[in-house]
Amino acid sequence: MIQIPTRSLVLGSLVFLGAAWALLFIRLLPLSEGIMGWPGPDLGLALILAWVLRRPDQLAAAVIVLAVLVEDLLLMRPLGLWAAVVLIGLEAARLREPRWRDQPFMVEWLRVGILIGGMMLGYRLMQILFLLPVAALGQVILQYLATVMAYPLVVFAARWLLGLRRNGHGETT
Protein backbone atom coordinates (compact mmCIF):
# COMPACT_ATOMS: atom_id res chain seq x y z
CA MET A 1 0.00 0.00 0.00
CA ILE A 2 1.09 3.54 -0.65
CA GLN A 3 1.21 5.56 2.53
CA ILE A 4 0.07 9.18 2.39
CA PRO A 5 2.80 11.50 3.71
CA THR A 6 1.97 13.08 7.03
CA ARG A 7 1.72 16.82 7.50
CA SER A 8 4.93 16.93 9.57
CA LEU A 9 6.86 15.10 6.83
CA VAL A 10 5.71 17.49 4.11
CA LEU A 11 6.18 20.60 6.23
CA GLY A 12 9.58 19.43 7.52
CA SER A 13 10.74 18.64 4.00
CA LEU A 14 9.69 22.05 2.69
CA VAL A 15 11.35 23.89 5.57
CA PHE A 16 14.52 21.83 5.12
CA LEU A 17 14.65 22.47 1.36
CA GLY A 18 14.17 26.19 1.95
CA ALA A 19 16.94 26.28 4.56
CA ALA A 20 19.33 24.12 2.51
CA TRP A 21 18.85 26.19 -0.63
CA ALA A 22 19.19 29.45 1.31
CA LEU A 23 22.55 28.19 2.59
CA LEU A 24 23.51 27.23 -0.97
CA PHE A 25 22.51 30.68 -2.22
CA ILE A 26 24.69 32.34 0.42
CA ARG A 27 27.54 30.00 -0.50
CA LEU A 28 27.30 31.02 -4.15
CA LEU A 29 27.34 34.76 -3.48
CA PRO A 30 30.55 36.45 -4.65
CA LEU A 31 31.58 37.79 -1.25
CA SER A 32 35.36 37.64 -1.67
CA GLU A 33 37.55 39.80 -3.87
CA GLY A 34 38.97 36.82 -5.73
CA ILE A 35 41.52 35.84 -3.12
CA MET A 36 41.01 32.28 -1.95
CA GLY A 37 41.39 32.09 1.79
CA TRP A 38 40.47 29.38 4.20
CA PRO A 39 37.62 27.16 3.13
CA GLY A 40 34.40 27.66 5.01
CA PRO A 41 32.33 24.96 6.66
CA ASP A 42 29.85 22.84 4.76
CA LEU A 43 26.80 24.21 6.55
CA GLY A 44 24.46 22.15 4.37
CA LEU A 45 26.02 18.91 5.59
CA ALA A 46 25.89 20.11 9.19
CA LEU A 47 22.21 21.03 8.76
CA ILE A 48 21.42 17.63 7.25
CA LEU A 49 23.06 15.77 10.14
CA ALA A 50 21.48 18.03 12.77
CA TRP A 51 18.06 17.51 11.22
CA VAL A 52 18.40 13.75 10.89
CA LEU A 53 19.62 13.39 14.49
CA ARG A 54 16.85 15.59 15.86
CA ARG A 55 13.78 14.85 13.74
CA PRO A 56 14.42 11.80 11.53
CA ASP A 57 10.68 11.43 10.99
CA GLN A 58 10.46 14.81 9.22
CA LEU A 59 12.99 14.23 6.48
CA ALA A 60 12.90 11.60 3.76
CA ALA A 61 16.10 10.41 2.11
CA ALA A 62 14.82 11.46 -1.33
CA VAL A 63 14.49 15.08 -0.16
CA ILE A 64 18.08 15.12 1.07
CA VAL A 65 19.36 13.55 -2.14
CA LEU A 66 17.44 16.16 -4.17
CA ALA A 67 18.97 19.01 -2.17
CA VAL A 68 22.50 17.60 -2.48
CA LEU A 69 22.08 16.87 -6.20
CA VAL A 70 21.11 20.50 -6.81
CA GLU A 71 24.17 21.50 -4.80
CA ASP A 72 26.33 19.15 -6.92
CA LEU A 73 25.02 20.74 -10.10
CA LEU A 74 25.56 24.32 -8.97
CA LEU A 75 28.98 23.73 -7.39
CA MET A 76 30.14 21.66 -10.40
CA ARG A 77 31.06 18.57 -8.40
CA PRO A 78 30.84 15.05 -9.86
CA LEU A 79 27.10 14.56 -10.22
CA GLY A 80 25.69 12.25 -7.59
CA LEU A 81 28.93 11.20 -5.91
CA TRP A 82 28.63 13.51 -2.90
CA ALA A 83 24.88 12.83 -2.80
CA ALA A 84 25.54 9.08 -2.53
CA VAL A 85 28.14 9.59 0.21
CA VAL A 86 25.79 11.89 2.14
CA LEU A 87 22.95 9.39 1.77
CA ILE A 88 25.09 6.56 3.16
CA GLY A 89 26.29 8.74 6.04
CA LEU A 90 22.88 10.06 6.97
CA GLU A 91 21.29 6.63 6.90
CA ALA A 92 24.05 5.38 9.20
CA ALA A 93 23.25 8.27 11.54
CA ARG A 94 19.49 7.69 11.23
CA LEU A 95 19.88 4.04 12.24
CA ARG A 96 21.85 5.03 15.33
CA GLU A 97 19.65 7.99 16.32
CA PRO A 98 17.58 6.11 18.94
CA ARG A 99 20.78 5.03 20.72
CA TRP A 100 22.33 8.51 20.45
CA ARG A 101 19.20 10.32 21.67
CA ASP A 102 20.00 10.07 25.37
CA GLN A 103 23.67 10.97 25.05
CA PRO A 104 25.04 14.40 25.97
CA PHE A 105 25.70 16.87 23.17
CA MET A 106 29.50 16.49 23.42
CA VAL A 107 29.20 12.79 22.58
CA GLU A 108 26.92 13.60 19.64
CA TRP A 109 29.40 16.22 18.45
CA LEU A 110 32.26 13.71 18.61
CA ARG A 111 30.25 11.09 16.71
CA VAL A 112 29.16 13.61 14.08
CA GLY A 113 32.79 14.69 13.68
CA ILE A 114 33.86 11.10 13.10
CA LEU A 115 30.97 10.58 10.65
CA ILE A 116 31.81 13.74 8.69
CA GLY A 117 35.46 12.66 8.55
CA GLY A 118 34.47 9.24 7.23
CA MET A 119 32.19 10.81 4.63
CA MET A 120 34.90 13.19 3.42
CA LEU A 121 37.45 10.37 3.34
CA GLY A 122 35.09 8.12 1.38
CA TYR A 123 34.36 10.92 -1.09
CA ARG A 124 38.07 11.58 -1.56
CA LEU A 125 38.84 7.87 -2.05
CA MET A 126 36.10 7.58 -4.67
CA GLN A 127 37.51 10.60 -6.49
CA ILE A 128 40.95 9.01 -6.51
CA LEU A 129 39.57 5.62 -7.56
CA PHE A 130 37.72 7.08 -10.55
CA LEU A 131 40.58 9.43 -11.47
CA LEU A 132 38.57 12.59 -10.83
CA PRO A 133 40.17 15.90 -9.89
CA VAL A 134 40.94 15.94 -6.18
CA ALA A 135 41.13 19.06 -4.00
CA ALA A 136 44.29 19.76 -2.04
CA LEU A 137 44.44 17.72 1.16
CA GLY A 138 45.11 20.78 3.31
CA GLN A 139 41.99 22.50 2.02
CA VAL A 140 39.88 19.39 2.69
CA ILE A 141 41.23 19.07 6.23
CA LEU A 142 40.51 22.76 6.90
CA GLN A 143 36.96 22.38 5.57
CA TYR A 144 36.48 19.30 7.75
CA LEU A 145 37.64 21.17 10.85
CA ALA A 146 35.48 24.18 9.99
CA THR A 147 32.41 21.96 9.47
CA VAL A 148 32.91 20.11 12.75
CA MET A 149 33.47 23.38 14.61
CA ALA A 150 30.35 24.92 13.02
CA TYR A 151 28.10 21.96 13.93
CA PRO A 152 27.11 23.28 17.40
CA LEU A 153 26.26 26.67 15.88
CA VAL A 154 24.11 25.00 13.23
CA VAL A 155 22.31 22.96 15.89
CA PHE A 156 21.70 26.11 17.94
CA ALA A 157 20.48 28.07 14.90
CA ALA A 158 18.23 25.20 13.80
CA ARG A 159 16.67 25.04 17.25
CA TRP A 160 16.30 28.79 17.59
CA LEU A 161 15.21 29.69 14.04
CA LEU A 162 13.47 26.51 12.87
CA GLY A 163 12.26 25.08 16.18
CA LEU A 164 14.17 21.85 15.57
CA ARG A 165 14.47 19.82 18.76
CA ARG A 166 15.19 16.22 19.68
CA ASN A 167 12.45 13.63 19.93
CA GLY A 168 11.41 12.96 23.49
CA HIS A 169 11.22 9.54 25.11
CA GLY A 170 7.51 9.16 24.44
CA GLU A 171 7.70 10.25 20.80
CA THR A 172 8.19 7.66 18.12
CA THR A 173 10.06 8.06 14.87
Q: pLDDT > 70: what percent of the chain?
A: 90
Beta strands in 42-105 (DSSP E): none
Question: Are 61 and 90 within 8 A, CB to CB?
Answer: yes
Task: Decide if 33 is inside a domain.
Answer: no
Task: Decide if 13 is inside a domain.
Answer: yes
Average pLDDT for the chain: 86
Task: Decide if 115 is inside a domain.
Answer: yes
pLDDT for residue 173 is more than 50: no
Task: Decide if 66 is inside a domain.
Answer: yes
Q: How confident is the model at residue 131 (pLDDT cuts 50, 70, 90)?
A: very high
pLDDT for residue 1 is more than 60: no
pTM of the model as a whole: 0.86
Question: Are 41 and 146 within 8 A, CB to CB?
Answer: yes
Which residues constitute the domain of residue 104? 7-26+38-162
Q: 63 or 12, which is more confident?
A: 63
Q: Domain total for the chain?
A: 1
